[in-house]
A and B are shown apart, each in its own frame.
Chain A
Amino acid sequence: MGDWKAITVPLLSSDSKNIFPYTSERKRSPTSMNSQVLRLSLPSPKNMYSFFGAFCTEENLEQSISYIDRELTTMGFPSIYAESKGKELNLVSIINCMNELLVLQHKNLRAQEEVEMQHLKLGSDMDHLQNCYAKLKEQLELSKREIVGLQERDRQLQSKNRNLHQLLKNEKDEVQKLQNIISSRATQYNHDMKRKEREYNKLKERLHQLVMNKKDKKLAMEVLNYVGRADGKRGAWRTDKTEARNEEEMYKVLLSDYEQRQKQLLLENAELKKILQQMKKDIISLLPPQKQKPKERSEDGLVLSDQEEDIGELNKENMWELSCETVREQLTNSIRKQWRMLKNHVEKLDNQVSRGHSGTWNEKDVISREAHELETEKLELEIQQCKEMIKTQQQLLQQQLTCDDDTTLLLQDCYLLEERERLQEEWRLFREQKKNFEKERKSFTEAAIRLGLERKAFEEDRGAWLKHQFLSMTADCKPENVTTSSDPDIRLVKSASRQRKPPFVLSPAVSPEPCQISQYITHNSVASEKPAADNMPSLWVESDDKEGTE
C-alpha cells in the first residue's frame, strides 16, 4: 500500500487539492486521538471519474495495462494477458482479478471498520480509565488529608491523656505526701501528748505531796455503824485460796460460755446440713428421668450412680453425726455438682424452647410451643364437643325418664295408636285372607258335593250295571267273574279316576277333603246300597287303593 501511495501522489498531482481535503477531513473525525493516521479511503463519487481518468488515458493504455499486470502478478494474481505473449487481454482473468480485488477491497474495508471500532473502544476505555484515575487521585488526596487530621487529633488527645495522667500522679503524690505529713504530725502529737502527760502526772504527784505534807491526818472515810462479822474480825479479801478460786471461776465462766456457743453452732450446723440434704434431694428429683440422648444417658447414669453413692454415704455419715472436714466437703461438693447439673438442665430447656420457637428442632420428644398450643386447642374443642353431646344425651334421657304425665301419656298413646293401626292393618289383611279362604272352601265344598253327587249317580249306575252283569254272567258261567269283573272295574275305575282328576287339579291343597268326602259318600253309598254291599265295599276299597296308587 505504500507503493500505491508513492505512485499515486505524483500522478494525482493535478487533483491533489481535491484529494487532500478528503484526507484532512478524515483526519479530523477521530477527535481525541493523539496519533494521526493517514487514511486513504474511497473518494466521493463526485470525483470518481476524474480519479479514474487520471491514471489511464488513451495514450498510456498499454503502459497502464502492463503496469497493472505487473502489479497483479506481484500481488499473486494471475496475469491478465492471455497465455500467449501477445497483447491480448484475458478478459476472464481480468474479471477474476477485478473480482478478487473487489473482494480484497471489501475485506480491507471490513478490517478497517473493525480496526476503527476497536480504536474507538480503546479510546473510550482510555477516557474512562483516565477519569477513574483522576477520581482515585482525588480520593487519595482526601484520605491523606483526613489521615493527617486524625493523626493530629490523636496526637492532641494523647498529649491530653499524658497531661491528665501527670495530673493524676501529681494528685496521688500530693495525697501521699499529705498522708505522710498527717502521720508524722500524729506521731509528733502523740509524742508531745505523752510528754505532757508525764509532766502532768509529775506535777500532780508533786501537788499531791505538797498538799499531803500540809495536812497531818490522811483523808479517809469513816464508816459508821457498819455491819460486822460474826466473830468481830476484819474480813480478809486477798488470800491465795481466793486467788485460785477466782481463777477457777473465771475459767469456768469462760468455758461455760464457749460450751454454750459451741452447742448453738452445732445445732445450726446440723440444721444447715439437713437443709442441704433436702435441697440435694429436691434437686435430684427435679432433674428429669434420662430419656433423651444416649450420651446424656451415660453421663447421667454415671452421675446417678455417683449421687446414689453420695446419698448412701452421707446418710451413713449423718447417722453418726460426724462433722469432719471430709464429710462437709463431700456434701458441699455433691450439692455443687447437683446444682450445676440443674443449671445445665435449665439451660438446655431454655435452648429447646428458643429453638422450638424458631422451629428447627427435630426430635420427637420435643414439641414446639406452637404445636403444643395447637394440640391443646384441638383437645379443648374436642372436650367441648363431647360435653355438648353428653349434655344433649342427658337431656334426652331426662325427657325419657322424668317427663310430665301428660307427655308420657301422649307418647304412650302415640305408640299405642301406631301399634293399633298396625294391628288393624293386619286384621284387615287377615280378614281378607279369611274371606278368600272361605270362598275357596265354599267352592271346594260345592265341587265336592257335585263330585259326590256325580259319584253317587255313577255308583248307582255301576251298581245297576253290575247287577245286570252279574245276573247275565251267572246265567252264563260263574268262575270267570272275578278276573273279568276286575277289568271293567279297572276300566271303570280308570275312567272314574280320570273324571275325578280335573277337580283335583284345582286345589291340591284341599285334597284331604275330597277323600273325607268320598269316605263320607262311601258310607252313604254303603248305607244306601246295603243289599249290594258285600262286594261293593270290597271293590270300592280296591278302587280306592288303585286311586291311591294312581
Chain B
Amino acid sequence: LRITVWSLCTKSVSYIKYPKACQQGVAFTKDGRYMAVVERRDCKDFISIFVCNNWQLLRHFDTESQDLFGIEWAPNGCVLAAWDTCLEYKVLLYSLDGRLLSSYRAYEWPLGVKSIAWSPSSQFLAIGSFDEKVRILNHVTWKKITELDHPATISSKNTIVYKEVEKSPTVDTERLTFPPTRALASSLFSTQSKYEISQMPVSLQYTKPVADRANPKVGVGMLAFSADNCFLATKNDNIPNAVWIWDIRKLKLSVVLEQLSSIQGFQWDPCQPRLAVCTGSSRVYLWSPAGCVVVQVPGEGDFQITSISWHPSGDSMLLLSKENFCVCYLEREEV
C-alpha cells in the first residue's frame, strides 16, 4: 500500500507508494543518511533512494530482476546490493546515484540466493546460496574471488572442530541435604556440557531435505562477518547443528562448532572477533580465536534462548527466549 513517514518534531507526513512487502524491502545506510525502498509497480521492481533528512526522493530506478527479494547497503553507504527471488540467482549492485555497477549470476536453474552479508570494510560481499556454497565477491571488480563449500565430512588438518559434549553432573551423594538447596537442585537436573576437540576426519550430521516442499532447509541460510573483517560465520541448513567459521585472510575454513541441537542464531561482538551462538538450549556458546566456552544461563526452569543481541560496546549481550530475556555481562579479566 504505502509507507507513511511521520516526523515526530514537525508535523510533516510523507508517503511512499507501492512499497514491496518482501523480506528486506527497506534498508537504511549505516550512517542513516539514506534509505532505500523496494517498490513494485505493474510487476516490475523499482528501487527508490530517499534522503533521510527531509525524506526527499533522491533516485528512482528500475531493476533487472524478476522479483526482488531483498536489498542491503554496504557499510560505506555507497553501494546497494539487491538480490532476486530464490528461483533466480541474481545479485545486482547499484551505486548510490542509481547506476548499475555490476550484476552477478553464478548459475541459472537451481535455487539461488538464500542470504547475503557485507564485510565491515565493504571489501567483500558474501552470497550464501541453496547449493550449500558461499561465494565471495570483491569490491573492485565485483567478481567472485572464492567459493566456500560446506561438505558433510571435514578432513583438512588445519580445521579445528569443537564438539559440544554433555557431561553428567557429578553429585556428591554424601553432601545431599534435605530439603535440597536451590543450587543443588538446579545442578542436579540441568545437564552440563562442554566443548571437546574432535579428531579428524569429522563427519557432521547431514539432513537431506524433503524434496517436494517449498522453502527447503537447504543451503547457507546465515552469514555474518566479524567486526574486524577477519572471520565469516556461516550456517549450512543441511547441517543444522554446525557453525562454520572461516578465516577471511586466508580464505580457509578455520573452525567448526558442532552443537547438540540446531543453531537458532549467532551474532558477532561489535568490537572484538567474538561470536555468540544460541541453539535453543539454556546455554550460550562463545567462540573467539583464543578458544570457545559454554556458558550456562543460571535460572530456574527452562530458558530457551532463541536469539542473541550484543550491546554496541561489546560488554554485554541480550539473550531472548520466547517470553523472557536475560542480560549477560561479560567481565573483563583483572590484570
Contact = CB atoms under 8 A, between A and B. Distances in A.
Interface of A: 179, 182, 186, 190, 193-194, 197-198, 204, 208, 221, 223, 226-229, 234-238, 242-243, 246-247, 249-251, 253-254, 257, 265
Given A198-B42, A242-B54, A226 B11 contact: yes
Given A221-B6, A257-B78, A237 B43 contact: no
Given A234-B10, A257-B77, 5 more contacts: A194-B43, A197-B40, A235-B10, A246-B53, A250-B34
A249 B58 CA distance: 10
A223 B34 CA distance: 25
B9 interface: yes
B191 to A, nearest CB: 49
B109 interface: yes
B193 interface: no
20 contacts: A182-B109, A193-B67, A204-B1, A229-B10, A234-B11, A235-B10, A237-B7, A237-B55, A238-B55, A238-B56, A242-B53, A242-B56, A246-B51, A246-B58, A250-B97, A251-B97, A253-B77, A254-B78, A254-B95, A265-B140
B43 A197 contact: yes
Contacts of B53: 242, 246
Nearest to A198: B43
B58 A247 contact: yes
A186 B87 contact: yes
B7 to A, nearest CB: 7
Given A243-B56, A254-B95, A235 B78 contact: no
A16 to B, nearest CB: 109
Contact of A254 (B4, B8, B55, B97): B97
A223 B11 contact: yes
Contacts of B42: 198
Interface of B: 1, 4, 6-12, 14, 33-34, 40, 42-43, 51, 53-56, 58-59, 66-67, 76-78, 87, 95-97, 109, 140
Given A235-B10, A237-B12, A253 B55 contact: no
Contacts of A249: 33, 51
Contact of A257 (B67, B76, B140): B76
B110 to A, nearest CB: 10
A281 B227 CA distance: 40
Contacts of A236: 12
A254 B96 contact: yes
Contacts of B34: 250
A538 B76 CA distance: 153
A235 B11 CA distance: 7
A243 B59 CA distance: 11
B51 A179 contact: no
Given A198-B42, A254-B78, A227 B56 contact: no
Contacts of A229: 9-10
**Minimum-distance CB pairs A-B, first 10:** A235-B10, A194-B43, A257-B78, A237-B54, A246-B51, A227-B9, A254-B96, A237-B12, A197-B43, A242-B54
Contacts of A250: 34, 51, 58-59, 96-97
Contacts of B40: 197
B27 to A, nearest CB: 16
Contacts of A234: 10-12
A186 B14 CA distance: 38
Contacts of A243: 56
A186 B84 CA distance: 15
Secondary structure class of chain B's binding surface, majority of residues: loop
Give the interface centre of B6, B7, B10 by most chain A CB atoms within 10 Å: B10
Contacts of A193: 43, 67
A190 to B, nearest CB: 6
Nearest to B6: A221
Contacts of A221: 4, 6
A228 B9 CA distance: 6
A249 B77 CA distance: 12
A221 B203 CA distance: 57
Nearest to B139: A261
B244 to A, nearest CB: 30
Contacts of A235: 7, 9-12
Contacts of B58: 246-247, 250
A249 B140 CA distance: 23
A198 B43 CA distance: 7
A340 to B, nearest CB: 29
Contacts of A246: 51, 53-54, 56, 58
Nearest to A197: B43
A193 B45 CA distance: 14
A198 B140 CA distance: 39
Give the interface centre of B1, B12, B67, B78 by most chain A CB atoms within 10 Å: B78
Nearest to A257: B78
Nearest to B5: A237
A103 B52 CA distance: 145
B2 to A, nearest CB: 10
B76 A190 contact: no
Contacts of B95: 254
Contacts of B59: 250
Contacts of B55: 237-238
A312 to B, nearest CB: 33
Contact of A237 (B14, B66, B78, B96): B14
Nearest to B74: A257
Contacts of A186: 87
A226 B14 contact: no
A249 B54 CA distance: 13
A182 B66 CA distance: 16
A194 B45 CA distance: 12
Contacts of B96: 250, 253-254
A237 B56 contact: yes
B48 to A, nearest CB: 13
A251 B96 CA distance: 8
B156 to A, nearest CB: 30
A226 B12 contact: no
Given A235-B9, A237-B54, A179 B78 contact: no
Contacts of A198: 42-43
B288 to A, nearest CB: 28
A208 B14 CA distance: 20
A249 B59 CA distance: 13
B15 to A, nearest CB: 11
B42 to A, nearest CB: 7
Nearest to A236: B12
Contacts of A228: 9-10
B68 to A, nearest CB: 13
A223 B8 CA distance: 8
A239 B12 CA distance: 13
Contacts of B56: 237-238, 242-243, 246
Contacts of B1: 204, 208
A226 B76 contact: no
A146 to B, nearest CB: 50
Nearest to A251: B97
Contacts of A226: 8-11
A427 to B, nearest CB: 95
Contacts of B109: 179, 182
Nearest to A258: B78
A193 B96 CA distance: 31
Contacts of A251: 97
A426 to B, nearest CB: 93
B11 A238 contact: no
A227 B43 contact: no
B286 to A, nearest CB: 33
A238 B43 contact: no
